[in-house]
Every structure is written in structure tokens, then in C-alpha cells.
Amino acid sequence: MKYHSLQLIVLFLTVSAPHSVIAQTAAPKPTDAEEAVVLSPFVVNTSASESGYRASSTLAGSRIKTDLKDVAASVTVLTTEFLDDLGAKDVASAMAFVAGAENDSTYHAEPVAALGGANGYVGSDFGDNNNKSGVIRVRGLGAASTTVNFIDTIGSTDRYNTERVEFLRGANSILFGLAEPAGLVNSSTKLAGTRKRATRVENKIDQFGSNRVMLDHNEVLIPSVLAVRGVGLVNEQQYKVKTAFLRDKRVFVTGTYQPFKGTTVRAYAEGVSSFGRRPNNRTVQDNVSGWLRAYNAYAPQMTPAQIAQAFYWDPTVPNADGIAPATTFTLANGTSANLGLIRRPLDTQANGTALIFSGNGQWANPLDNVATILAARTITGAAPAALTSRSQFARSGDALENAVILRADPQVTDRGIFPYDTVEIGALPGSYRQENIRRYNVTIDQRVTDDLYLSATVQRETRDFDQYFAVLSQSNQISIDINQKLPDGRVNPNFLRPFIYGRNIAERGDATLTNTLVQANYDFDFAKKTQKLGWLGSHRLTGVYTKAKRDTYGTRYHNQFDSDLANVLPGAATGANATGAASRFVMQLWYVGDPVKVGDTSLRF
């Protein structure tokens, strides 16, 4: 008979087993049983309550450890093993695999300022991905509340110091306390273990060049009494968008101290410093395609003078504020053509705005260029006496832009017009977001009797942030410079070159959040107390006291010109924008390609 090697080994072990048993010495008598470890009802022991992807208990149902089968709410627990197997770097990335939840990678929506109006642009400066950190959308209702150890938090969180994640859907999150209608997402931080020393090193890379390194070490100082644990993270995140990145550094130190029987003191401190510009996954407004189609179709049928009249612009000719360029033109054969409004002024108060002309044709560093400052004055440099004497800077446009029909402005769908898969205006150098967070937490658990437990927690968190958008959403566009001259009469050296432009907007703020949490739990089992009333069963009485105080400060600002010299800044006889802040906006232009010519269907970057 022929056996496979594995079968022979099994057979050998089976035959030899009785002889091995006979040769064994008598087992030593068991020593006295070790004292059982009594766990606080306010803490879930992940090593005992988790098996692979399955968790058996949670704090989400009633703030105390409860079997999931006894919680009358929709609760999903993401265990340590599940998070590790996903390679999740934060809670939001893991929630993409949970039913009813979406993150900013699996779901992205952009607001439109006004459908069918003068503000049909797409996007919101302070609502984009660069302004958010791991927002989770639940059941289409919006963002869920975020907590750490079931205490409200104001700063971003990360997987590096997270043991497990609990997700409560919908209004059932009220079992926790105050939460958004969408639900609640809680992260449980790592604890210092008093049993054994442990070290873990983790490194993650991806196809874009990201490098994430995490070091986790648990040190037992006094067995079963005192331990500390430190976790550090350095994350250099890269994206498909070449100029986007996120540099995230975090340190988490926690300790566990059990000075007396039934007393446990836990504390942690965390520091976070992040800087970068995340991609917004937003396409730009297309001011080129419609103009190019008309240019290729009709320019060959026009004289040079007709082409200049139909497709170009002379900013030295005074133009009344708000008067649109002509749209109907006569071709060389005598027929007329309505091209629509394919020549438009720059958005955001172009007539009353100082302009900065710059650009070297490189996406990598559009803000680092020599600039010439011009003002919306007359061609002689004097302050305009009326609106009709203003000069106007024009750009290419689309006939459907700001159309009265209910639609947004045309967006780029052709990589030849704008390389949207690798370039994003909101992620170009000059824009940035930085955040600094500090968290401090102290918790004391006390077992008063076998049935009575008390817990008190104080947590303080500070957060400051600063973000700068070099180009605000309203001018997140690609256009062609159709100005034959500069506003001061000089020949425009960038005539027919594609450009991006806009004015800046920025925000900074700081916040402090202090939380106090006191809990008490008393278990009473009639069967253990009295035989006569044992039929009344076991009961649990829980009390919770919470207090939160939040102080926030924020400001938004933009750059503008100011001067006491005559004939330097924009001015006009009437109109609030002529003398107010809107007339001092800094408008920046960055040229990113070669001049277009008849026959082009795409741009040359």
C-alpha cells in the first residue's frame, strides 16, 4: 500500500502514542488556584471578548460592558484583527467596509452655489476634503458623531492607537448621549497591560510612494501593578495627484496603575502634528472646450478683424460694468452666427480688483513667480470718473455657463483640457492645511464592593489649525487668456495661453474641550441575597453624569491691497465694491501652457 508522507506521520503518531503515555511521569498536583481577575464593567477586555472578526461585548449599549446579543440597537464592532487585515490607517477607511456607512473616498458630493444663476460654480472652500478629517456619512443622513472612549472629541483620530471601533447607527446612538442623528463612531484607545512586555513594529507602503511607520511598545514596570505603553506614528501620505500630500506625526503614551485591590488608575497623553494638502477629488470648471469648438468652426471663415471682434478682447477699451460682450457676428460669406457668450470677465469682481500676472508654465510651483501688479484704472492711470471708464480683463467662456436652465457650470471631462487625474488646483503648492492636537485623559475605576463600581474620567483636548486656499472654489477653473493687450496698454505676452486664476481665502482657529464623566454601577442578584425572592432575578442600576465645556475661536481672512498713494488702488464714483474690501481683492493668474491656435482640440501643458 502506498501512503503519502503526511499519512505515514499520522500513522506513526497513532501507533506510538500508547507507548508515550506509558512512559510519562505522573502529573504534578495543581497548585492553589490563582485569584481571579475581576474586570471593571466600564472596560471591555478585547483579548477575552474578541475572536477574530467577532466581538461578544460592547460598551455602546448602555455605557457598561454588555453582551452584544442583549443590546437593542444596531451596533457594529470592528475588532483589532479586522482592522489589521484591512490595513486601515484610520477609522474612516475601515468604515468603507461597513453596511450603511461611507467615507470621503467612497462618497463625494460637491455643492452648487446656485443652479441656473450667476453662481453656478461647484464646490465649497470650507466644506471640501482638505478641510475635513475622516468624515463618515451614515445612511445618507450626513456625518456621524466621533468619540474616543465614548468621550466627545474635536480633533482627528488615527488607527495607530485604536484597539477597536464601535459603530452605532441612526438615532439609537442616543443611548450614548448627545450624538448626530446619523449615528456615532467610537474609537477605543490602547491600554497599558500589566501582564507582559510586548513590542510591535508596522510599516505600510503603497503605489504612490506613501510610507507609514508605527512603533508600539508595552513595558511592565511592576507586574500586575504598573505598566506604561508608548505608540508613535510617522505617516508620509502621497496621492495620485502629484502635488498632494499629508505629513502626519503622532505620539501616544498611556499608563495603568493598580495601587490597591479594586483600584485602577489609567491615564494617557497624545500629541498630533499634521501638515499637507489632501486632494479634493473635484474637477475644474471648463471655460475652454466651448470656446475652442467655436474657434475651430468659425475662425477659418472670418477675417482677422472679425476673429478679433468675435474671440479676442481689448481691455484698454472702457467697458461698462456688467455689459456683456456681443454674441452674434458676421462671417466672411455674409452669413451670421450666434456664438453665445464665449467671452466673459473674470469672476469675483474683476473690474474692481487688483491683478497679479505671473506664471512659468509649471504645475509644480505656480505661486513662486515674479509678478506685476496692475489696478483697475483708466488707461492713463487716473481714477475712473464713472463705471463706463473702467478697463475689463476677459477670459474664454462657455455659452452654458451661468445659464438660466437648472444646471451647474460645465466641468472638465477631457484630460486634454485639464489633467484632472494628476493635477488638482486645490492641491497645488501654496494651499495647505496644518493641525496640532493635544489630548490628556485620567480615569479612576474603583470597586467598592463585589457589586458596586465607580468610575471618574477627566479629559482635556486642545486643537489649533490653519489653512490657506490659494484659489477659492468660485474660480476653480481653466481658461484661455483672450486679452490682446494688458490693461495698461502693453502687448499681452501671454495672449491665448491657458491659465488658472483666483483670489485666496484662509482660515485659522483654536478650540479647547474639557469633559468630565462620572459613572456608577450596582448589580443586585436576588437569588444570591435571599432564597425567597430569588425569582425576581438579577438587576443592574447604572448612573451617569457628564459635563462638557467647549471654547472655540475662528477667523477667516484674505489678502488685499491697501495704499495711501493717489491713483494706485481701484476706485469708482459709485458702488460699494468700488471702495470696500471687495475692490481690493488680490487676483492671481498662473499660466500653465502654450498659446492655442486654430485646429487645437486640447491644450499643450
Q: Stretch 259-284: mean pLDDT, rounded?
A: 90
Distance CA 342, CA 471 (A): 23
Phi, then psi, of 44 in degrees rounded to 5: -100, 125
- The answer to whether 60 and 75 are in contact (CB under 8 A) is yes
Distance CA 78, CA 92 (A): 12
- The answer to whether 585 and 364 are in contact (CB under 8 A) is no
Q: Stretch 311-317: mean pLDDT, rounded?
A: 80
Kindly tell me the sign of the dihedral angle through the C-alpha atoms of 60, 61, 63, 68: negative
Q: Does the pLDDT of residue 119 top 70, yes or no?
A: no
Phi, then psi, of 439 in degrees rounded to 5: -125, 135
User: What letters, b where the CB count within 10 A reaches 16 and e where it falls short, cover 394-432?
Assistant: bbbbbbbbbbeeeebbbbbeeeebbbbeebbbbbbebbb
Q: Is beta strand 498-502 parallel, antiparallel or unpaired with respect to 477-480? A: antiparallel
Q: Stretch 444-456: mean pLDDT, rounded?
A: 91
Q: Measure the CA dihedral 359/360/366/370, to 10°.
A: -60
Taking only the tens place, the pLDDT of each residue in 61-86 is 666 677 676 676 778 888 888 888 88
Distance CA 41, CA 82 (A): 24
Identity of the highest mean pLDDT range in 20-34, 404-418, 454-468: 454-468
Strand partners of residue 557: 506
Closest CA to 395 of 317, 322, 470, 341: 341
Using only C-alpha atoms, what is the Rg of the chain?
33
pTM for this one?
0.78
Alpha carbons within 13 angstroms on the beta-carbon side of residue 499 total 26
Stated length of the chain: 605
Q: Stretch 533-543: mean pLDDT, rounded?
A: 82
Supply the pLDDT for residue 523. 85
Q: Measuring CA to CA, how many Å separate 76 from each of 1, 21, 113?
A: 54, 47, 37
Question: Taking each helix axis from N to C terminus, what angle separates 304-311 and 289-298, rounded to the nearest 10 degrees?
Answer: 160
Phi, then psi, of 378 in degrees rounded to 5: -75, 170
Q: Stretch 474-501: mean pLDDT, rounded?
A: 85
- The answer to whether 150 and 105 are in contact (CB under 8 A) is no
Supply the pLDDT for residue 555. 92
Taking only the tens place, the pLDDT of each residue in 348-375 is 555 555 565 555 544 444 444 333 333 4
Strand partners of residue 510: 464, 553
Fold of 46-282+432-469+507-555: Ferric Hydroxamate Uptake Protein; Chain A, domain 1 (2.170.130)
| H helices present in 412-473, as ranges | none
Closest CA to 505 of 569, 553, 429, 560: 560
SS3 13: helix
Distance CA 459, CA 83 (A): 26
More confident residue, 402 or 569: 402
The shares of helix, strand and coil residues in the chain, as percent rounded to the nearest 5, are 15, 35, 45
Q: Does the pLDDT of residue 57 top 90, yes or no?
A: no
Domain boundaries, the chain: 46-282+432-469+507-555, 285-430+471-504+564-591
- The answer to whether 439 and 469 are in contact (CB under 8 A) is no
Q: Does the pLDDT of residue 197 top 80, yes or no?
A: yes
Region label for 537, one of left (φ > 0), alpha (ψ between -120 and 50) or beta (otherwise): left
Distance CA 180, CA 185 (A): 10
Q: How confident is the prediction for the chain on average, in pLDDT?
A: 76
What are the grid coordinates assigned to 41, written together? 464593567
Q: Does the pLDDT of residue 291 top 60, yes or no?
A: yes
Closest CA to 249 of 158, 186, 164, 165: 158
What are the grid coordinates assigned to 318, written together? 472702457
Q: Stretch 209-223: mean pLDDT, rounded?
A: 96
Q: Measuring CA to CA, how many Å separate 598 from each of 292, 296, 305?
A: 8, 5, 15
Closest CA to 603 of 343, 472, 412: 412
Q: Stretch 206-233: mean pLDDT, rounded?
A: 96
- The answer to whether 214 and 202 are in contact (CB under 8 A) is yes
Taking only the tens place, the pLDDT of each residue in 422-431 is 888 888 888 8
Q: Does the pLDDT of residue 489 top 80, yes or no?
A: no
Q: Measure the CA dihedral 107/108/111/117, to 10°.
A: -110
